[in-house]
Amino acid sequence: MSGAPIVARSSSAEETRGIGAALAPVLRPGDMLLLVGDLGTGKTTFTQGLAAGLGVTAPVTSPTFTLVRAYACPEPGPGPGGGEAIRTLLHADLYRLERLRDVVELGLGELVEDDAVAVIEWGDMAGSLFGPEVLTVRLAAGSGSCGAPSADDEGADDEGADDERIVTLEADGSWVERADALAHALGPWKR
């Protein structure tokens, strides 16, 4: 079961980070977010904001060459609704993987079970492996963008990439139950 897409518009890298940070309170341990978008559309920038929203203070960079990076979240209180707290943010990048078997061998499904949340760049490549319990976050260049790749998905921040981005959330599985909370979180940027 899928919910209606939630669409937001960002006019700068800082706003894209803000969208990511705004989603942090809606997350629960075990959640998986699949980031989808062309090179330079802000996948790492979005993840930087999400990490900040979870209290991560370490620099967040693209895991293109390491495949998966783990960031400790500070000792949090109870999670949303008094449930388990998120202790780790897993940031994966599937760009360089050529086979679904390579994705399976990363063991992201098992890693996320231990009080973690996973954000997976180029997640569309392996969406079928994770089943319906994912939030797909599509990032696209907006009408003001030239569409040229930035350093975003090549391992560096895209501080200079201040072009408009369209961020679309597609909720599946149990994420549909949180659609109202997702829409509320994106209120300032909703289209």
DSSP 30-93: T-EEEEE--TTSSHHHHHHHHHHHTT--S-----TTTSEEEEEPP-----GGG-PPP-EEEEEE
Identify which of 98, 86, 99 has the alpha carbon closest to the alpha carbon of residue 32: 86
Q: Is residue 83 part of a domain?
A: yes
Tens digits of per-residue pLDDT, 116-149? 898 988 777 666 667 778 899 999 998 754 444 4
What average pLDDT does the segment 151-164 reach? 48
Tokens of 17: 């980070």
Q: Is residue 56 part of a domain?
A: yes
What CATH number did the domain enclosing 123 receive? 3.40.50.300
Question: Whole domain around residue 20: which residue ranges?
Answer: 6-189
Beta-bridge partner residues of 90: 70, 118
pLDDT of residue 155 exceeding 70: no
Predicted local distance difference test score (pLDDT) of residue 111: 61
What average pLDDT does the segment 39-58 reach? 93
Q: Is residue 1 part of a domain?
A: no
What average pLDDT does the segment 164-187 reach? 92
Predicted local distance difference test score (pLDDT) of residue 97: 54
Cα separation, 15 vs 21, in Å, equals 10
Q: Is 85 left (phi over 0), alpha (psi -120 to 50) or beta?
A: beta
Q: Give the number of domains in the chain.
A: 1
Q: Is residue 39 part of a domain?
A: yes
Cα separation, 111 vs 104, in Å, equals 12
Q: Is residue 65 part of a domain?
A: yes
Asked whether 106 and 125 are in contact (CB, 8 A), the reply is no
Query: 3-state DSSP call for residue 25?
Result: helix
Cα separation, 60 vs 65, in Å, equals 14
What average pLDDT does the segment 161-179 reach? 86
Identify which of 122, 124, 144 has the alpha carbon closest to the alpha carbon of residue 39: 122
Cα separation, 126 vs 96, in Å, equals 12
Q: Is residue 159 part of a domain?
A: yes
- At 90, the amino acid letter reads L
Predicted local distance difference test score (pLDDT) of residue 23: 95
Q: Is residue 174 part of a domain?
A: yes
Q: Is residue 80 part of a domain?
A: yes
Q: 37: which residues sit within 8 A by CB, 6+ positions away? A: 43, 138, 139, 140
Tokens of 84: 């388990």
